[in-house]
Structure 1
Amino acid sequence: MTSPLRKIAMGVFACFAAVNACAQQPAVTVKYTVNPNKSVTFDYVKTDPGTYTVALKLSNLTNAYASETSNLTAGFYSGRLLNLEPTNKDQGIGFSYTYSYIRGKLKPKFNADFIYVLPCKNGSKVKVMESTFLNATYFGNTAPDDWKVYRFGTAQEDTVTAIRKGIVVDIKDVAETNIAEGVQYSSRINELTIEHADGTIATYKHFKKGSFVVKVGQTVYPGTPLGVNAKNNANGMFGVTIMVAYLKSADFEAARAQNVQNSKSMYGFVNPHFYTAEGADVALVSQKEYTAASTPEVVKKEMSKKEQKLAAL
């Protein structure tokens, strides 16, 4: 058997700045086992409850049949990715392998018309601003046609709430949020990532350090408090920036071959509609103010009967 090669690509989902998974504990680790019957199994272990797509590439494969590259889903904390059976049961399987991974389920089926709630307590007012595109490794250098990211501003520091039911899959709470006078923009941000049941992923950015009131692995619902918002420049409003995205490509080879001028995003972006006091299905308009509202029907639409009973809905 040839020596297995391992290559871990960046695997941490980020909005404006990507984080190299090699610089910390890898989010996904893939190992293989040669079984007594000479079959080979590839298994993964993950560090968080979120879904990842793993691109497993086999080379120098002998005595077995498999695709050169397979895009596989890693959903649980650990599990099986692939099994190879020897064509000649009396001989072992020869192979080398590499793998890359990225957060998200590849090409999930989702309802683009799903109605979200605003990220603040009912009755609260927020000023909506569209955020401009800033490139990053897995979001490309060219602004995607479907790019849509909103910042929800408040005059005073306020609680940020979940816009939809989901599982908290990542929290970064390392940046001090006291911005010096005159600073126009700070990249030092605290953020939280929530995965929804349909495979879309919401990233919330700009939290006050130490303000998170949820944990990784926790299920949140529309209106669940997440933390406290922060400023992204010394003279601006308090606020949270939210992006809803989905993984549309796992073509790592094409991504690596792109240059700075033509790089494209591996993610697609959702233009969410919201339930507000101004309307039940609102496409947000930049620079306009909206009032948060909800109904029991909006809150419970993704809840199980048990969850509805516990919430008394």
Structure 2
Amino acid sequence: MKNIRFKAAAAFFLMSVSLPSVSAQSLKSLMRMPFDVVESKWEINSINGNQELNYYNKDFCDYYLYRQQDTSYDLSPGKNTIFTIRENEAFDNPFKNATYYSYFRGRFPKKFNVAFPYALPVKNGAEVSWKTDLREPFKTLNFSVRQGDTVYAVRGGTVCMTNNERQVLVYHSDYTFAAYLMLEKKLVDPGTEVLAGEPVGVAGPSGVSVSFFFLDENKFEGGLASGYPYSHYMPVFRTSEGDVRMEENKTYKAVTDDALIMQEMSKREQKKYLKNKK
């Protein structure tokens, strides 16, 4: 599988990756699929009598069903019919043979806009800096907020299921993720649709750490998954200095304006948002 344009953009903006330490478990545990969240069943269609292989995704984000040396599938939330045998049809079932398979959160992005502006995870007008969180196995930004401070969504999206009450995972419309780690508690439930600038959690004693990543198609080549299948990136943040890629340990003032919040809304949604704001 090749996606040259996407691969070039990802390669240019990929952040350095460090080896995991024994205590770096937060992000690693976050990306594990919650128990029994995807279920597969062979079922008979009551309308046409066809036999179907259905996958039921109980989460609120997509999953990628990876089948080695075989066809793989994107599983949207809800019912996914991935194979059908018509009634009375003589057909060799390709699923009768055993194969290695696994599930990964997300799907491959088709458009990756490296200039897309994000909000900072603090209230509008607050000042904040970041440093690399060395506790995490991959590049993660630890923001300088105080324990008990509200943590805000950096971008609109859907809250996914997690295994830990101190984690929030938000799935964006372009199939990227933002993971909010080291929280004291979370303020949103799975399935919640959040907007940029809305509260998602409360900061813990070491602030809040946020990691940005996507399921990378270029790590699934030649019928094999190459180790860690995600790539991390550094977003552009909206600040009083404009939309910038923030330097480490430098303080910036957050700007979470209506234009930033509404940028992925339809015209109808924008009109409703502005009306409700009055």
- Same fold flag (TM > 0.5): yes
Give the distance between the partners of 1:27 and 1:106, measured in 2 at CA.
Answer: 20
Match of 1:217 in 2: 191
| Letter aligned with residue 210 of structure 2 | I
| 1:189-268 alignment, distance < 5 Å | 190-209=166-185, 212-232=186-206, 239-249=207-217, 251=220, 254-255=224-225, 264-268=227-231
Q: CA deviation at 1:93?
A: 4.1
Q: CA deviation at 1:56?
A: 4.1
Aligned counterpart for 2:27 among listed residues 15, 31, 51: 15
Q: CA deviation at 1:162?
A: 0.4
Aligned counterpart for 1:121 among listed residues 115, 120, 123: 123
Give the distance between the partners of 2:116 and 2:81, measured in 1 at CA.
Answer: 32
Say whether residues 1:150 and 2:141 are aligned partners. yes
Give the distance between the partners of 2:155 and 2:136, measured in 1 at CA.
Answer: 25
Give the distance between the partners of 1:241 and 1:82, measured in 2 at CA.
Answer: 41
Give the alignment's Cα RMSD to 1 decimal: 3.0
Aligned counterpart for 1:274 among listed residues 237, 240, 251: 237
C-alpha distance 172-208 of structure 1, shift in aligned 2 (>3 A): farther
Q: TM-score, normalised by structure 1?
A: 0.68
2:147/2:204 contact within 8 Å kept: no
- How many residues in Structure 1 have an aligned counterpart in Structure 2? 245
> Could you list the runs of 5+ residues in structure 1 that have no partner in the other structure?
1-13, 58-67, 136-146, 175-189, 233-238, 256-262
Q: CA deviation at 1:116?
A: 0.3
- What is the CA deviation profile of residues 255-289 of structure 1, one whole-angstrom value per residue up to 9, with x for unaligned ones? 5xxxxxxx742011121010012x22111111111
Aligned counterpart for 1:297 among listed residues 253, 259, 269: 259
Give the distance between the partners of 1:280 and 1:82, measured in 2 at CA.
Answer: 49
| 1:53-64 alignment, distance < 5 Å | 53-56=64-67
SS for the counterpart of 1:29 is strand
Give the distance between the partners of 1:93 and 1:39, measured in 2 at CA.
Answer: 13
| Letter aligned with residue 243 of structure 1 | S
Q: TM-score, normalised by structure 2?
A: 0.76
C-alpha distance 16-101 of structure 1, shift in aligned 2 (>3 A): closer
C-alpha distance 191-93 of structure 1, shift in aligned 2 (>3 A): closer
> Could you list the runs of 5+ residues in structure 2 that have no partner in the other structure?
1-25
Give the distance between the partners of 2:236 and 2:267, measured in 1 at CA.
Answer: 25
- Which of the pair has more CA radius of gyration? 1
SS for the counterpart of 1:287 is coil
Say whether residues 1:73 and 2:74 are aligned partners. yes
Q: CA deviation at 1:50?
A: 0.5
Match of 1:161 in 2: 152
Query: Among the aligned pairs, what percent are the same residue?
Result: 28
| Letter aligned with residue 273 of structure 1 | V
Q: CA deviation at 1:213?
A: 2.3
Give the distance between the partners of 2:67 and 2:139, measured in 1 at CA.
Answer: 31
Select the structure that is richer in helix.
2
SS for the counterpart of 2:234 is coil
C-alpha distance 115-93 of structure 1, shift in aligned 2 (>3 A): closer
2:30/2:164 contact within 8 Å kept: no
Q: CA deviation at 1:83?
A: 2.7
SS for the counterpart of 2:28 is coil
Match of 1:49 in 2: 60
- What is the CA deviation profile of residues 138-177 of structure 1, one whole-angstrom value per residue up to 9, with x for unaligned ones? xxxxxxxxx6421111245311000111011124554xxx
Give the distance between the partners of 1:33 and 1:96, measured in 2 at CA.
Answer: 19
1:163/1:222 contact within 8 Å kept: yes
1:125/1:154 contact within 8 Å kept: no
Give the distance between the partners of 2:115 and 2:31, measured in 1 at CA.
Answer: 31
Q: CA deviation at 1:111?
A: 0.9
Q: CA deviation at 1:251?
A: 4.2
- What is the CA deviation profile of residues 194-248 of structure 1, one whole-angstrom value per residue up to 9, with x for unaligned ones? 0000110111111113xx222211111110011110024xxxxxx1111111101
